[in-house]
Amino acid sequence: MIECKGVNDMEEKILTNETVKSAAPDRVIKLQIKDMTKKYDNGDGVEHIDLDIYEGEIVTMLGPSGCGKSTILRTIGGFLDVTSGDIQIDGKSIVNLPPEKRPTAMVFQSYNLWPHMTVYENLAFGLKLRKTPKDEMDREIKRHLEMVGISGMETKYPSQLSGGQQQRVAIARSLLLKPSVLLLDEPFSALDAKIRQQMREEVKKIQSELGITIVFVTHDQEEAMALSHRIVVMNKGKFEQVGTPSEIYDNPASRYVASFIGEMNFIPQADGSTMAVRPEEVFLVKDGEACDMSGTIRTIMLLGHYVETNVQCGENVIKCYVQREDIEGVNVGDKVNLKFAKHHVF
Ligand SMILES: Nc1ncnc2c1ncn2[C@@H]1O[C@H](COP(=O)(O)OP(=O)(O)OP(=O)(O)O)[C@@H](O)[C@H]1O
Ligand SMILES: [Mg+2]
């Protein structure tokens, strides 16, 4: 029999885990959502939303389909009225202003370029409304196409562009309006993985060059982690957790957040609680060393520089990411002991 140390002995260690500070002390609040509720006639919507977004921040609303991400973005952009509460930019309420009077610009979930207009005409539309002189308009359009990496496409029609190029035009068009807050609603959802990654980099670059504030919406946790200064994890019209990517990954506030972000083993406990352990926090230890669980190796998969192994521990299958050298000589069917470097209890 192998003596295993009870997992509850480790809880203390987790509670002392240092929390990453997200805020520099001198940050300026750009956008404030104050006790905002937006209810549709059928009762769906979002309730009692409070959020401060700082100047120059990329904040991402992350959550499954229907949780209310677009609803929040549309209330900020002015495409939906709030039911109650307030939204302020630079300390001034914007809820009674129409979209074009707000210091915001929005890129919608689906491409919304005008198909019968060339790229130039699409980009010039908003500038013409603002009575921008022609030479300045030409200069600005050229500069913005360069910024989003599609120089020289002025005379093409949207149908002659790839999905990624169309999204770049949509982003350029919103940037031309010089918004102080840019609202991006799942702008890359129709693009393939490689282009998405490229576009993420592009958005980060534009944000740091222009210093604008971005509210980004996605249901892709990897995209949220890669792009954001802070993430708002949403569930059914409410906020579950607001924090930096590392705060949310390292210290998920609820089981919901833990299951939504990254991989997690959930292990039911005798007292009715659930222990949550990330696969990279599980280590194989030698016989005789303190361990948390014991089991039998079910699968071993080499995934490049690390190995994923699944270990059957009673009724639970524990997924572990281990270094290649740590699993050398270990085979499917072998008995192993597992130690958890870190865990959470929900
Ligand atoms: N115009 C509307 N009238 C009534 N209900 C609506 C309307 N728009 C959205 N809803 C409902 O409000 C809830 C939130 O919708 P919302 O579009 O904000 O979700 P979402 O998080 O953006 O989802 P997705 O990831 O699918 O875009 C959903 O239950 C949706 O059915
Ligand atoms: Mg949406």
Stated pTM of the model: 0.83
First to last CA, the chain: 29
Nearest to 343 by CA among 260, 285, 273: 273
344: phi then psi, degrees, rounded to nearest 5: -125, 155
Per domain, the residue ranges of the chain are: 7-16+265-345, 29-256
- To 10 degrees, what angle do helices 193-210 and 163-176 make? 20
- To 10 degrees, what angle do helices 134-147 and 163-176 make? 130
- pLDDT of residue 339 exceeding 70: yes
* Residue from 37, 62, 67, 219 to probe ligand 1 pocket by mutation (most atoms less than 8 Å from CB): 67
Ligand 1 centre from 276 Cα, in Å?
Answer: 31
Considering only CA atoms, which residue is closest to atom 28 of ligand 1? 66
If one looks up domain 29-256 in CATH, what number appears? 3.40.50.300
If one looks up domain 7-16+265-345 in CATH, what number appears? 2.40.50.100
Q: Give the Cα separation of 75 and 294 in Å (integer).
A: 52
- pLDDT of residue 5 exceeding 50: no
Equal CATH topology for 7-16+265-345 and 29-256: no
Which of ligand 1's atoms lies nearest the C-alpha of 237? Answer: 14
Q: Which residue has the tokens 């990954």?
A: 249
**Quick one: what percent of the chain has pLDDT higher than 70?**
92
Residue 174 Cβ contacting ligand 1 at under 6 Å = no
Residue 43 Cβ contacting ligand 1 at under 6 Å = no
Question: What is the per-residue pLDDT for 290?
Answer: 87
Instruction: Compute the average pLDDT of residues 282-305.
Output: 90
Question: What is the per-residue pLDDT for 243?
Answer: 96
Pairwise pLDDT comparison (29 vs 24), residue with the higher score: 29
Considering only CA atoms, which residue is closest to atom 17 of ligand 1? 70
- Between 50-64, 181-195, 215-229, 264-278, the lowest mean confidence (pLDDT) is in 181-195
